[in-house]
Amino acid sequence: MPIVRSKKIEVLFSAEEIARRNRELAEEIALSDLKNLLVLSILKGSFVFAADLIRALHSAGLAPEVEFISVSSYGAGTTPGELKLLRDIDTDVAGRDVLLIDDILESGNTLRFTRALMLERGARNVAVAVLLDKTMKHKGDIEADHVGFDCPDHFVVGYGMDVGHAFRELPFVGVVMGEA
Ligand code: IMP
Ligand code: MG
Protein backbone atom coordinates (compact mmCIF):
# COMPACT_ATOMS: atom_id res chain seq x y z
CA MET A 1 0.00 0.00 0.00
CA PRO A 2 1.60 3.31 -1.05
CA ILE A 3 2.16 5.91 1.63
CA VAL A 4 1.65 9.50 0.54
CA ARG A 5 1.89 12.58 2.77
CA SER A 6 1.64 10.38 5.90
CA LYS A 7 -1.74 8.99 4.85
CA LYS A 8 -2.34 5.43 3.71
CA ILE A 9 -4.24 5.25 0.49
CA GLU A 10 -5.91 1.99 -0.42
CA VAL A 11 -5.95 1.45 -4.17
CA LEU A 12 -9.49 1.11 -5.49
CA PHE A 13 -8.76 1.28 -9.24
CA SER A 14 -5.16 0.88 -10.39
CA ALA A 15 -3.51 2.93 -13.13
CA GLU A 16 -3.52 -0.19 -15.36
CA GLU A 17 -7.23 -0.88 -14.81
CA ILE A 18 -8.06 2.75 -15.56
CA ALA A 19 -5.96 2.77 -18.75
CA ARG A 20 -7.67 -0.41 -19.97
CA ARG A 21 -11.12 0.96 -19.17
CA ASN A 22 -10.34 4.28 -20.91
CA ARG A 23 -9.57 2.41 -24.13
CA GLU A 24 -12.89 0.54 -23.86
CA LEU A 25 -14.78 3.77 -23.14
CA ALA A 26 -13.22 5.47 -26.15
CA GLU A 27 -14.22 2.56 -28.42
CA GLU A 28 -17.76 2.78 -27.01
CA ILE A 29 -17.90 6.56 -27.52
CA ALA A 30 -16.58 6.21 -31.07
CA LEU A 31 -19.56 3.97 -31.90
CA SER A 32 -21.98 6.87 -31.31
CA ASP A 33 -22.88 9.12 -34.21
CA LEU A 34 -20.71 12.12 -33.29
CA LYS A 35 -20.16 15.06 -35.58
CA ASN A 36 -18.09 18.15 -34.85
CA LEU A 37 -17.37 16.78 -31.38
CA LEU A 38 -16.61 19.12 -28.50
CA VAL A 39 -15.23 17.49 -25.37
CA LEU A 40 -16.05 19.61 -22.33
CA SER A 41 -14.04 18.72 -19.24
CA ILE A 42 -15.45 19.91 -15.91
CA LEU A 43 -12.62 21.30 -13.78
CA LYS A 44 -10.85 20.55 -11.68
CA GLY A 45 -11.50 16.89 -10.84
CA SER A 46 -11.79 15.58 -14.39
CA PHE A 47 -8.59 17.01 -15.88
CA VAL A 48 -6.52 13.81 -15.65
CA PHE A 49 -9.35 11.58 -16.87
CA ALA A 50 -10.06 14.01 -19.73
CA ALA A 51 -6.37 14.12 -20.73
CA ASP A 52 -6.23 10.32 -20.95
CA LEU A 53 -9.65 9.91 -22.53
CA ILE A 54 -9.02 12.37 -25.40
CA ARG A 55 -5.88 10.45 -26.32
CA ALA A 56 -7.84 7.20 -26.21
CA LEU A 57 -10.47 8.91 -28.40
CA HIS A 58 -7.71 9.77 -30.88
CA SER A 59 -6.68 6.09 -31.00
CA ALA A 60 -10.36 5.24 -31.57
CA GLY A 61 -10.43 7.55 -34.60
CA LEU A 62 -12.02 10.70 -33.17
CA ALA A 63 -10.67 14.25 -33.36
CA PRO A 64 -12.49 16.28 -30.69
CA GLU A 65 -12.10 19.93 -29.82
CA VAL A 66 -11.40 20.26 -26.10
CA GLU A 67 -12.69 22.90 -23.68
CA PHE A 68 -12.83 23.34 -19.93
CA ILE A 69 -15.57 24.64 -17.70
CA SER A 70 -15.61 25.17 -13.97
CA VAL A 71 -18.74 25.06 -11.83
CA SER A 72 -19.17 25.11 -8.10
CA SER A 73 -21.91 24.73 -5.52
CA TYR A 74 -23.11 27.87 -3.83
CA GLY A 75 -22.26 28.14 -0.15
CA ALA A 76 -24.66 27.69 2.74
CA GLY A 77 -27.92 29.58 2.64
CA THR A 78 -28.82 28.92 -0.96
CA THR A 79 -30.91 26.20 -2.56
CA PRO A 80 -29.10 22.85 -2.54
CA GLY A 81 -28.22 21.83 -6.06
CA GLU A 82 -27.91 25.41 -7.25
CA LEU A 83 -24.60 25.92 -9.01
CA LYS A 84 -22.58 28.83 -10.25
CA LEU A 85 -20.41 29.02 -13.32
CA LEU A 86 -16.84 29.89 -12.28
CA ARG A 87 -15.26 29.57 -15.71
CA ASP A 88 -17.20 29.59 -18.95
CA ILE A 89 -16.24 28.78 -22.55
CA ASP A 90 -16.44 31.18 -25.47
CA THR A 91 -16.82 28.37 -28.04
CA ASP A 92 -20.16 28.33 -29.87
CA VAL A 93 -21.84 25.01 -29.10
CA ALA A 94 -24.92 25.53 -31.32
CA GLY A 95 -25.56 22.44 -33.45
CA ARG A 96 -22.59 20.57 -32.00
CA ASP A 97 -22.24 17.23 -30.28
CA VAL A 98 -20.90 17.83 -26.78
CA LEU A 99 -19.30 15.16 -24.61
CA LEU A 100 -19.25 16.27 -20.98
CA ILE A 101 -16.48 14.69 -18.95
CA ASP A 102 -16.49 14.57 -15.17
CA ASP A 103 -14.61 12.57 -12.57
CA ILE A 104 -17.55 11.43 -10.47
CA LEU A 105 -21.31 11.41 -10.86
CA GLU A 106 -22.68 11.77 -7.34
CA SER A 107 -25.95 13.70 -6.80
CA GLY A 108 -25.91 14.61 -10.48
CA ASN A 109 -26.24 18.35 -9.78
CA THR A 110 -23.01 19.27 -11.59
CA LEU A 111 -23.81 17.31 -14.72
CA ARG A 112 -27.50 18.26 -14.78
CA PHE A 113 -26.56 21.96 -14.58
CA THR A 114 -23.84 21.74 -17.26
CA ARG A 115 -25.94 19.58 -19.56
CA ALA A 116 -28.89 22.00 -19.35
CA LEU A 117 -26.56 24.93 -20.06
CA MET A 118 -25.20 23.31 -23.24
CA LEU A 119 -28.69 22.36 -24.47
CA GLU A 120 -29.93 25.89 -23.75
CA ARG A 121 -27.08 27.15 -25.95
CA GLY A 122 -28.26 24.95 -28.79
CA ALA A 123 -26.01 21.87 -28.64
CA ARG A 124 -27.34 19.18 -31.00
CA ASN A 125 -26.66 16.46 -28.46
CA VAL A 126 -25.04 16.30 -25.02
CA ALA A 127 -23.57 12.98 -23.84
CA VAL A 128 -21.95 12.37 -20.47
CA ALA A 129 -18.82 10.35 -19.67
CA VAL A 130 -17.72 9.86 -16.07
CA LEU A 131 -14.87 7.85 -14.65
CA LEU A 132 -16.84 6.88 -11.54
CA ASP A 133 -20.55 6.59 -10.82
CA LYS A 134 -21.91 6.63 -7.26
CA THR A 135 -25.34 5.36 -8.27
CA MET A 136 -26.53 5.18 -4.64
CA LYS A 137 -26.05 8.98 -4.36
CA HIS A 138 -28.00 10.11 -7.43
CA LYS A 139 -30.65 12.72 -6.69
CA GLY A 140 -33.32 13.09 -9.33
CA ASP A 141 -33.05 12.16 -12.93
CA ILE A 142 -29.47 11.81 -14.20
CA GLU A 143 -27.65 9.01 -16.00
CA ALA A 144 -24.22 8.99 -17.58
CA ASP A 145 -23.99 7.60 -21.11
CA HIS A 146 -20.47 6.25 -20.53
CA VAL A 147 -19.27 5.06 -17.11
CA GLY A 148 -15.76 3.89 -16.27
CA PHE A 149 -16.51 2.11 -13.01
CA ASP A 150 -19.30 1.85 -10.45
CA CYS A 151 -17.92 3.51 -7.34
CA PRO A 152 -18.59 2.30 -3.80
CA ASP A 153 -19.88 4.84 -1.29
CA HIS A 154 -16.44 6.09 -0.19
CA PHE A 155 -14.70 9.41 -0.61
CA VAL A 156 -12.08 8.74 -3.25
CA VAL A 157 -8.94 10.62 -4.28
CA GLY A 158 -6.25 10.46 -6.94
CA TYR A 159 -6.25 10.52 -10.74
CA GLY A 160 -7.22 14.20 -10.58
CA MET A 161 -9.51 14.00 -7.54
CA ASP A 162 -8.64 15.69 -4.28
CA VAL A 163 -9.43 16.04 -0.64
CA GLY A 164 -8.48 19.52 0.59
CA HIS A 165 -6.41 20.08 -2.61
CA ALA A 166 -4.25 17.01 -1.95
CA PHE A 167 -3.71 13.74 -3.85
CA ARG A 168 -4.67 14.87 -7.37
CA GLU A 169 -1.27 13.63 -8.60
CA LEU A 170 -1.79 9.96 -7.68
CA PRO A 171 -1.86 7.79 -10.82
CA PHE A 172 -4.58 5.56 -9.34
CA VAL A 173 -7.96 6.06 -7.62
CA GLY A 174 -7.82 5.33 -3.92
CA VAL A 175 -9.50 5.73 -0.56
CA VAL A 176 -7.78 7.64 2.25
CA MET A 177 -7.34 5.29 5.21
CA GLY A 178 -6.27 7.80 7.89
CA GLU A 179 -2.93 8.49 9.56
CA ALA A 180 -0.08 6.13 8.67
P1 IMP B 1 -22.48 15.95 -7.86
O2 IMP B 1 -22.70 17.33 -8.41
O3 IMP B 1 -23.15 15.75 -6.54
O4 IMP B 1 -22.82 14.85 -8.84
O5 IMP B 1 -20.97 15.86 -7.47
C6 IMP B 1 -20.01 15.61 -8.38
C7 IMP B 1 -18.73 16.30 -7.98
O8 IMP B 1 -18.42 16.12 -6.60
C9 IMP B 1 -17.57 15.68 -8.75
O10 IMP B 1 -17.32 16.47 -9.89
C11 IMP B 1 -16.44 15.73 -7.77
O12 IMP B 1 -15.69 16.91 -8.00
C13 IMP B 1 -17.06 15.81 -6.42
N14 IMP B 1 -16.98 14.52 -5.69
C15 IMP B 1 -18.00 13.68 -5.43
N16 IMP B 1 -17.56 12.59 -4.76
C17 IMP B 1 -16.23 12.74 -4.62
C18 IMP B 1 -15.17 11.92 -4.04
O19 IMP B 1 -15.40 10.81 -3.52
N20 IMP B 1 -13.93 12.42 -4.13
C21 IMP B 1 -13.62 13.61 -4.71
N22 IMP B 1 -14.55 14.40 -5.28
C23 IMP B 1 -15.84 13.97 -5.23
MG1 MG C 1 -15.89 18.09 -9.81
CA-closest candidate to residue 33, choices 10, 3, 62, 72: 62
Kindly give the confidence (pLDDT) of every residue in the chain, 180 residues in length, as a single tens digit, with 9 standing for 90 and above: 665 566 799 999 999 999 999 999 999 999 998 889 999 999 999 999 999 999 999 999 999 999 999 998 766 556 666 799 999 999 999 999 999 999 999 999 999 999 999 999 999 999 999 999 999 999 999 999 999 999 999 999 999 999 999 999 999 999 998 754
Tell me, what's the pLDDT at 6?
66
Alpha carbon separation from 126 to 49, 139, 155, 177 (Å, rounded): 18, 20, 27, 37
> Which atom, in ligand 1's list, is nearest to the CA of 134?
16
Give the tens place of pLDDT for each residue, 9-41: 999 999 999 999 999 999 999 999 888 999 999
Closest Cα to atom 3, ligand 1: which residue?
107
Within 6 A (CB) of ligand 1 lie 45, 102-110, 155-156, 161
SS3 helix, strand, coil % of the chain, rounded to 5? 25, 35, 40
Instruction: Give the up-direction half-sphere exposure of residue 131: CA atoms within 13 A in the CB hemisphere.
Output: 31
**35 Cα–ligand 2 center, Å:** 26
Mean pLDDT of the residues in the chain: 93
What pLDDT does residue 54 have?
98
- Domain borders along the chain are 15-72+83-152
Three-state DSSP class for residue 104: strand
CA of 76 to the centre of ligand 1 (A): 17
Residue pair 6/169 in contact by the 8 Å Cβ criterion: no
User: 71 with 113: CB under 8 angstroms?
Assistant: yes
Q: Which pLDDT score, from 0 to 100, does residue 4 have?
A: 52
Look up the CATH architecture of domain 15-72+83-152.
3-Layer(aba) Sandwich (3.40)
Radius of gyration of the chain, Cα coordinates, nearest whole angstrom: 16
Q: What is the reported pLDDT for 138?
A: 95
Per-residue pLDDT, 13:
98
